[in-house]
Amino acid sequence: MIGKVVVSVASVLLLVGVAIGVVAIVNKSGNTNLSPQMKAVQGICQTTADKASCVKTLEPVKSDDPNKLIRAFMLATQDAITKSSNFTDKTEGNMGSSISPNNKAVLDYCRKVFMYALEDLGTILEEMGEDLNTIGNKFDQIKQWLTGVYNYQTDCLDDIQEDDLRKTIAEGIASSKILTGNAIDIFHTVVSAMAKIDAKVDDFKNMTSGIFTPSDKGSAPAGKEATPVDTPVADPDGPSRRLLEDLDDLGVPTWVSGADRKLMANAGRGRRGGGGAPRIRATYVVAKDGSGQFKSIQQAVNACPDKNAGRCIIHIKAGIYREQVIIPKKKNNIFMFGDGARKTVITYNRSVGLSSGTTTSTSGTVQVESEGFMAKWIGFKNTAGPNGHQAVAIRVNGDRAVIFNCRFDGYQDTLYVNNGRQFYRNCVVSGTVDFIFGKSATVIQNSLIVIRKGNKGQYNTVTADGNEKGLSMKIGIVIQNCRIVPDKKLAAERLTVESYLGRPWKQFSTTVVINTEIGDVIRPEGWRMWDGENFHKSCRYVEYNNRGPGAITNRRVSWAKVARSAGEINQYTVANWLAPVNWIQEANVPVTLGL
């Protein structure tokens, strides 16, 4: 019965999304002579960022069936991304043997992320099937994958340092970015309609007539126009669609598998005080002294099975591991744990400024491309220093990452939360410029954020979020129940060295600071504009219920918001921002679902 209800809701979503669009078109233009196919096309395209491109893509599809139209749109997007991938290959070929190491590195990286985008889009098409009525509770995951497909394309552009090459690639992949953005908007409309309208499928059988009957629950009151679709009918970042009413004694939903519950609790430093062996059996053990199966972490990662339905558990014994670790996309569900964040340390010194042939993304000491990554009791470092500029300690590119009791130390771009949904708890993050940044839905709870002293004359910014689509993408950084302090070297100069909570990297940059102790290291203005851009006019920067001398808001910049009530920031809680949250609860880490 539950499954049948979910299917019906999915049907309602599609029909409601199209019906609202048709009503908006009819109300605005009065044109009721459109064919059923074009009414459906324009209804689907009504809320997309590039309506003309959307309509042009769907016009040749001879159907008014939303299932066929949306699937056709996804296939067109797939074709456009394939062409963009081929374009980057051709561009590299045209540059010949004279190509610089940096340009070759970034184009190689572009090739990789386009491959990832096509893999995820293939998965989306497979999960969608021919009938979207069967999509059910896959909806959130599909939209998350779609967001990733968009992010992969922007990753390519963001890593290019040379202006001319960036312009060339941007023009060459413009079509696939537009189509992917429109695909996200289409799914976003469906989510919005679901959140707002409660209606039966039968109510929309005659949707192509362009009007609602007075009995429809979704209709406008008599004498008033229906709400146009280009004004979202509901905020999709509102309450989670998956309810948490069926909880066990530990507060975990009863439908959650117990496989991962014990991992976080039992992994780590053994008996109190740090002694003793871990209480779970690792798949592989890494030890510098040869007491494990491997001496390097990368060897253990390589040994984990591809596309693993279970967990590959790697215990990294105490030691300093000087290596760059790359977890490929196919190596999913890896759980690494050490013997303490100061005892088990993975460190490297690759950077954009000091290492030839290095991009921001490839500078990472640890690079996680796969889904379902978990880590506990490990330190991640990039020791390139402030002269290295972009130098990432860890880049997490996969969905559903849970990281607990870890350290991330670097200077610029320390923690790259680049894609998917990510949750951090009881961690330490240190750096100077944009040292928590990316394009993901990330929540950092109960952690210590340490601002370091950089080069002379350099200012510090804690965050730099990369949301460039707005409400249709759930992307943004949430800092909750944390402390923001200077390190010992900066403490004496904290009032003269400028430090800010963040700056808007992209047009709709989103950062929220909740219930956090902010030291006087943060300037009274709180936030800084991105030099040369006007993103501060459209970003979403919100503070709520913070404390400490740096939390006084009477001199904050005018474009940042100070929330006065819990309702204003409820959408940024773990339960809503990272929903559905069973993947966090399965990990059995402490988590605050609300405020």
Residues with catalytic annotation? 413, 434
Backbone angles phi, psi at 8, to 5 degrees: -60, -40
Contact of 37 with 64, CB cutoff 8 Å: yes
Taking every pair of Cα atoms in the chain, the longest distance, rounded to a whole number of angstroms, is: 79
- Residue bearing tokens 């980057």: 88
Distances (CA, A) of 428 to 187, 271, 379, 450, 452: 36, 22, 9, 7, 12
Contact of 218 with 16, CB cutoff 8 Å: yes
Rg of the chain taking only CA atoms, in angstroms: 24
Residues whose CB is less than 8 angstroms from the CB of residue 56 and which lie 6 or more positions away in sequence, other chains included? none
d(CA 391, CA 6): 45
- Residue bearing tokens 């210590």: 448
Contact of 425 with 464, CB cutoff 8 Å: no
Backbone angles phi, psi at 163, to 5 degrees: -60, -45
Residue whose C-alpha is closest to residue 335's, from 360, 361, 315: 315
Residue 325's DSSP bridge partners are 366
SS3 468: coil
3-state SS record for 181-240: HHHHHHHHHHHHHHHHCCCCHHHHCCHHHCCCCCCCCCCCCCCCCCCCCCCCCCCCCCCC
d(CA 176, CA 121): 12
d(CA 68, CA 79): 16
Q: Which two tokens stand for residue 588?
A: 């059995």
Contact of 450 with 485, CB cutoff 8 Å: yes
Q: What is the DSSP string of 123-168?
A: HHHHHH-S-GGG-GGGHHHHHHHHHHHHHHHHHHHHH--SHHHHHH
Q: What angle do the packed helices 66-95 and 36-45 form, to 10 degrees?
A: 60
Distances (CA, A) of 227 to 182, 435, 581: 21, 42, 32
Contact of 344 with 396, CB cutoff 8 Å: no
Dihedral of the CA atoms 292, 399, 340, 412 (nearest 10)? 120
Q: Is the omega angle on the peptide bond into residue 305 within 30 degrees of 0, that is, cis?
A: no
Amino acid, res. 136: G
- Residue bearing tokens 């404390």: 547
119's enclosing H/E stretch is helix 101-128
118's enclosing H/E stretch is helix 101-128
DSSP code at position 305: P
Amino acid, res. 573: T
